[in-house]
C-alpha cells in the first residue's frame, strides 16, 4: 500500500517569499517529490512561525502530530531541513523519536532520513542553526550600533505614544506628534492637579481613563475603525515612562517576550525630543507611589476571594455590593467598561460572596483537619510530579545517548586526522566536521545541564512532605478563629486558584513549600517546591444571578 505523506511548509518572514522558500514553492516541490516515489500526497499543512518552535506547539504542527498519532498519515515531507527546524538539537531529537515510532521523515532535496545520524541531514541541520545564529547576531549588532549613534530602533513597532516615526530603515528618527503629546500633557495635569470640574483635585488613574474614553480619545492601539477604551494601566505606563524626559532606553526589556527588565546600566540611552523635565517626571513617580500606598481600592467590605477567582472569559471576578446585606462576585470586565462605551460580552453569572467565601474556607478547614487526606494529596502530587518529569527524563536519556555518539565520532575524526596529509583536502574536510561536532556537543551539554537542573528543582521529597504535614499541624489549631488577614495569608500560602465556569466553580490549592517554611520558623533550609491538589466542584446555582443588568440586585 502506498505511503500517505503530509507535504509540510514553514516560513518565518516575508523575506523568504523572495528567495524561493515561499509556502507555495515549498508545497509544490514536496508534492512533486511525493509523486516521484509513488506515495500519496495528503492535504498540505503550512505554518508561519519560527523554526525553533517545537512542532507540537505550532498551529499547523499540532495538526501534523494529530494525523501521525491517529494513523491518518505515515510520515511528513519537508522542503529542506531548515524548513523542518532551525535548531539542530531539536531536529535530531524529533527525527529520532519519529523513527522510533515508525514515522517517516522525508526532504524534497535529498530523500528519506532513516536515522538521525544521516550525514546530509546532520550537516544541513547544523548549517541551519549556524545561519540562524548569524542572523540574530547581525540583527542585534545593527540595532545596537544604530542605538549607540542616537537613532530610533523601531524594529517594526509603532513609535511611543506622543511621537511619530520619520524616515525609514537606518534613517528612521522620531519626532513629537502634537495631537498625542497634548493628550499626554493633559493626562499629567489631571493626575497632578485635577481640573475645574473636580475642584482642582488630582484625578486617579481610573478617572483619567474614564474621561479619555468618554471624550472618545483614541488609545495607543486604536485603529481607524475602533478608538478603543482606555485602561488605567495604560495611563500609568505613559505617566511613569522615562522616555518623555528625552531619554529612551534601548534594550530595557529582555527575554523571549520582553517580560524581564535589564539593569539600567546595561541599556543604551537614546536622545529623543523631551516633553517633561526630569524633576516633573520624578514628581509624577512620587504621586503614583503615594496613591498606591494610600489607596483603599474602594474596598469597604472584606472580600475573602478578591482577585482569586478567574472568570470563564479570562478576566478576574471582583467584589461588588448589592442589596444590603448581600454582596456579589462579578466579572471585572463588566465593571471596566466605561459609560457603556463598549459592549459587555461576558455572560458569567454573578455569585453571592457570603456563600462562596464560606464554602471555600470550609474546604480549607476540611483539608487541614484531616491528616490522612492532606498526606494522601501530597503523595498523589508526588506521584503526579514524577509522571510529569518522565518526558524530561526521556529527553535526558536521548541526549546522553547522542552525546556518547558525538564522543565516538570525535575519536574517529581525531584518529583520521593523524593519517591524512597536512594541508590537504581531507584534512580541511575533517576539521570542518570536527567544528560541527564540537558545536553540536556543546549544545547537547547545555541542554543536558538545563534538564538536570529542572529535574532536581522539581523533586518533591519525603522530607518535603513531612515539612508540609508539620505546617498543617501548626496552622490547624488557629484556623477556626482566624481573622480576615490570617485567612488571606493562608489562601496565599495554599496558592489558591478558583475558576468560574457557568454555574460551577473549580477550586485548586497549590502548597508552596518555600512559603510554608517561612511560616514555620522551625525549618531552616528553604527550597521552593509546588504541590497541587484539585479539591472539588461547587455549584453556584443558588448563589448566582444572570449577567443581565435588570436582574442584578438593586
CATH number, domain containing residue 249: 3.90.1750.20
Q: What is the pLDDT of residue 553?
A: 27
Secondary structure (3-state) at 129: helix
Question: Does residue 554 have a pLDDT over 50?
Answer: no
Average pLDDT of the residues of the chain = 78
Q: What is the pLDDT of residue 319?
A: 84
Q: Is residue 440 part of a domain?
A: yes
Nine cell digits for residue 298: 474602594
Secondary structure (3-state) at 277: coil
What is the distance between the alpha carbons of residues 534 and 532, in angstroms, rounded to a whole number?
7
Q: What is the pLDDT of residue 16?
A: 52
Residues of the chain with pLDDT > 70, as a percent, come to 81
Q: Are residues 367 and 339 in the same domain?
A: yes
Q: Is residue 142 part of a domain?
A: no
Question: Does residue 226 have a pLDDT over 70?
Answer: no
Q: What is the pLDDT of residue 259?
A: 60
Nine cell digits for residue 285: 513617580
Are the C-beta atoms of residues 310 and 497 closer than 8 Å to each other? yes
Domain boundary among 427, 459, 491: 459
Helix locations, 324-370, DSSP H: 332-335, 353-369
Question: Does residue 158 have a pLDDT over 80?
Answer: no
Question: Using 50, 70 and 90 to split pLDDT, how confident is the model at 375?
Answer: confident
What is the distance between the alpha carbons of residues 378 and 372, in angstroms, rounded to a whole number?
10
Within 13 Å and on the Cβ side, how many CA atoms surround 395?
21
Question: Using 50, 70 and 90 to split pLDDT, how confident is the model at 533?
Answer: very low
Q: Which of 163-172, 198-207, 392-401, 469-478 has the lowest mean pLDDT?
A: 163-172
Stronger pLDDT, 416 or 257, i.e. the higher one: 416
What is the distance between the alpha carbons of residues 407 and 57, in angstroms, rounded to a whole number?
31
Question: Using 50, 70 and 90 to split pLDDT, how confident is the model at 306?
Answer: confident
Question: Does residue 538 have a pLDDT over 50?
Answer: no
Quick: pLDDT tens for 244-298.
998 888 777 765 555 667 777 777 787 888 999 999 999 999 888 877 766 555 5
Q: Is residue 154 part of a domain?
A: no
Number of helices (H) and strands (E) in the chain: give both, helices first. Answer: 16, 20
Where b means 16+ CB within 10 Å and e means fewer, 218-228 reads: bbeeeeeeebb
**CATH number, domain with residue 81:** 3.40.50.1390
- On the question of a cis peptide bond just before residue 495, with omega within 30 degrees of 0, the verdict is no
Q: Is residue 552 part of a domain?
A: yes
Q: Are residues 336 and 367 in the same domain?
A: yes
Q: Which domain holds residue 474?
A: 299-388+460-554
Q: Is residue 407 part of a domain?
A: yes
Q: Are residues 255 and 182 in the same domain?
A: yes
Question: Does residue 164 have a pLDDT over 90?
Answer: no
Q: Are residues 49 and 190 in the same domain?
A: no
Where b means 16+ CB within 10 Å and e means fewer, 340-357 reads: eeeeeebebbbbbbeebb
Q: What is the pLDDT of residue 548?
A: 26
Question: Using 50, 70 and 90 to split pLDDT, how confident is the model at 545?
Answer: very low
Q: What is the pLDDT of residue 297?
A: 56
Domain boundary among 262, 294, 326: 294
Q: Which of 130-134, 336-340, 361-365 has the lowest mean pLDDT?
A: 336-340
Q: What is the reported pTM?
A: 0.54
Stronger pLDDT, 74 or 296, i.e. the higher one: 74
Question: Among 76-85, 384-393, 544-553, which range has the highest average pLDDT?
Answer: 76-85
Strand 350-352 with 497-501, pairing: unpaired
Q: What is the pLDDT of residue 214?
A: 85
* Closest residue by Cα to residue 82 from 113, 51, 104, 103: 51
Q: Are residues 369 and 512 in the same domain?
A: yes
Q: Are residues 505 and 384 in the same domain?
A: yes
Please, which residues have CB within 8 angstroms of residue 110's CB and are 6 or more apart in sequence? 120, 121
What is the distance between the alpha carbons of residues 194 and 440, in angstroms, rounded to a whole number?
62
Quick: pLDDT tens for 438-483.
888 888 898 899 888 888 776 677 887 888 888 788 777 778 788 8
Stronger pLDDT, 111 or 13, i.e. the higher one: 111
Q: Are residues 175 and 290 in the same domain?
A: yes
Q: Which of 51-65, 222-236, 353-367 has the lowest mean pLDDT?
A: 222-236
What is the distance between the alpha carbons of residues 423 and 33, in angstroms, rounded to a whole number?
40
Question: Does residue 154 have a pLDDT over 80?
Answer: no
- Tell me the mean pLDDT in the region 172-200: 87
Are the C-beta atoms of residues 350 and 329 closer than 8 Å to each other? yes
Q: Are residues 241 and 288 in the same domain?
A: yes
Q: Is residue 478 part of a domain?
A: yes
What is the distance between the alpha carbons of residues 371 and 469, in angstroms, rounded to a whole number?
8
**C-alpha distances out from residue 180 to 223, 257, 356, Å:** 14, 27, 45
Question: Using 50, 70 and 90 to split pLDDT, how confident is the model at 537?
Answer: very low
Q: Are residues 454 and 487 in the same domain?
A: no
Q: What is the pLDDT of residue 481?
A: 80
Q: Are residues 472 and 331 in the same domain?
A: yes
Q: What is the largest CA-CA distance in the chain?
A: 95
Question: Does residue 30 have a pLDDT over 80?
Answer: yes
Number of domains in the chain: 4
Helix axes 371-417, 88-100, angle to 10 degrees: 110
Q: Is residue 143 part of a domain?
A: no
Residues of the chain with pLDDT > 90, as a percent, come to 18
Domain boundary among 428, 459, 490: 459
Q: What is the pLDDT of residue 470?
A: 83
Q: Are residues 44 and 121 in the same domain?
A: yes
Q: What is the pLDDT of residue 331?
A: 85
Question: Does residue 374 have a pLDDT over 50?
Answer: yes
Q: Are residues 451 and 505 in the same domain?
A: no
* Closest residue by Cα to residue 243 from 205, 284, 207: 284
Q: Is residue 153 part of a domain?
A: no
Amino acid at each position: 500500500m502506498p505511503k500517505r505523506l503530509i507535504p509540510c511548509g514553514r516560513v518565518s518572514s516575508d523575506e523568504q517569499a523572495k528567495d524561493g522558500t515561499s509556502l507555495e514553492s515549498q508545497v509544490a516541490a514536496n508534492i512533486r517529490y511525493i509523486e516521484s516515489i509513488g506515495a500519496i500526497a495528503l492535504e498540505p499543512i503550512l505554518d508561519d512561525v519560527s523554526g525553533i518552535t517545537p512542532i507540537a506547539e505550532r498551529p499547523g504542527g499540532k495538526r501534523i502530530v494529530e494525523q501521525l498519532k491517529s494513523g491518518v498519515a505515515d510520515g511528513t515531507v519537508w522542503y529542506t531541513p531548515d524548513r523542518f527546524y532551525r535548531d539542530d538539537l531539536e531536529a535530531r531529537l524529533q527525527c529520532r523519536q519519529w523513527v522510533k515510532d515508525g514515522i517517516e521523515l522525508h526532504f524534497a532535496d535529498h530523500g528519506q532520513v532513516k536515522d538521525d545520524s544521516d550525514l546530509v541531514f546532520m550537516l544541513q541541520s547544523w548549517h541551519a542553526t549556524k545561519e540562524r545564529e548569524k542572523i540574530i547576531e547581525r540583527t542585534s549588532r545593527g540595532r545596537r550600533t544604530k542605538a549607540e549613534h542616537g537613532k530610533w530602533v523601531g524594529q517594526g513597532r509603532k513609535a511611543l505614544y506622543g511621537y511619530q516615526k520619520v524616515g525609514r530603515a537606518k534613517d528612521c528618527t522620531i519626532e513629537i506628534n502634537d495631537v498625542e503629546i497634548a493628550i499626554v500633557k493633559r493626562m499629567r495635569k489631571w493626575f497632578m492637579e485635577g481640573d475645574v470640574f473636580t475642584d482642582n483635585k488630582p484625578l486617579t488613574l481610573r478617572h483619567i481613563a474614564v474621561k479619555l474614553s468618554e471624550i472618545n480619545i483614541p488609545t495607543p492601539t486604536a485603529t481607524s475603525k475602533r478608538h478603543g477604551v482606555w485602561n488605567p494601566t495604560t495611563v500609568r505606563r505613559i505617566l511613569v515612562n522615562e522616555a518623555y524626559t528625552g531619554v529612551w532606553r534601548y534594550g530595557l526589556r529582555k527575554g523571549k517576550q520582553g517580560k524581564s527588565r535589564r539593569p539600567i546600566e546595561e541599556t543604551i540611552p537614546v536622545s529623543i525630543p523631551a516633553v517633561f523635565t526630569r524633576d516633573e517626571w520624578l514628581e509624577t513617580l512620587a504621586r503614583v507611589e503615594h496613591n498606591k500606598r494610600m489607596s483603599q481600592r474602594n474596598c469597604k467590605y472584606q472580600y475573602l476571594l478578591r482577585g482569586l477567582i478567574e472568570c470563564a472569559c479570562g478576566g478576574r471576578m471582583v467584589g461588588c455590593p448589592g442589596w444590603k446585606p448581600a454582596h456579589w462576585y462579578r466579572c471585572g470586565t463588566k465593571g471596566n467598561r466605561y459609560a457603556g462605551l463598549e459592549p459587555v460580552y461576558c455572560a458569567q453569572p454573578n455569585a453571592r460572596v457570603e456563600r462562596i467565601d464560606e464554602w471555600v474556607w470550609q474546604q480549607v478547614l476540611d483539608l487541614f483537619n484531616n491528616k490522612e487526606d492532606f498526606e494522601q494529596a501530597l503523595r498523589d502530587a508526588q506521584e503526579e510530579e514524577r509522571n510529569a518529569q518522565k518526558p524530561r527524563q526521556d529527553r535526558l536519556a536521548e541526549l546522553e545517548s547522542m552525546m556518547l555518539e558525538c564522543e565516538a565520532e570525535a575519536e574517529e575524526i581525531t584518529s583520521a586526522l593523524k593519517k591524512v596529509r597536512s594541508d590537504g583536502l581531507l584534512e580541511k574536510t575533517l576539521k570542518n566536521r570536527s567544528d560541527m561536532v564540537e558545536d553540536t556537543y556543546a549544545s547537547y551539554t547545555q541542554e543536558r545541564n538545563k534538564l538536570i537542573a529542572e529535574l532536581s528543582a522539581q523533586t518533591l521529597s519525603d522530607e518535603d512532605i513531612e515539612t508540609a504535614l508539620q505546617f498543617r499541624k501548626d496552622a490547624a489549631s488557629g484556623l477556626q478563629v482566624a481573622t480576615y488577614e490570617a485567612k488571606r495569608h493562608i489562601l496565599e500560602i495554599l496558592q489558591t486558584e478558583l475558576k468560574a465556569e457557568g454555574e460551577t466553580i473549580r477550586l485548586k490549592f497549590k502548597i508552596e513549600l518555600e512559603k510554608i517554611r517561612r511560616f514555620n520558623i522551625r525549618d531552616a533550609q528553604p527550597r521552593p517546591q509546588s504541590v497541587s491538589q484539585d479539591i472539588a466542584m461547587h455549584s453556584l446555582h443558588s448563589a448566582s444571578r444572570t449577567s443581565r443588568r435588570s436582574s442584578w440586585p438593586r
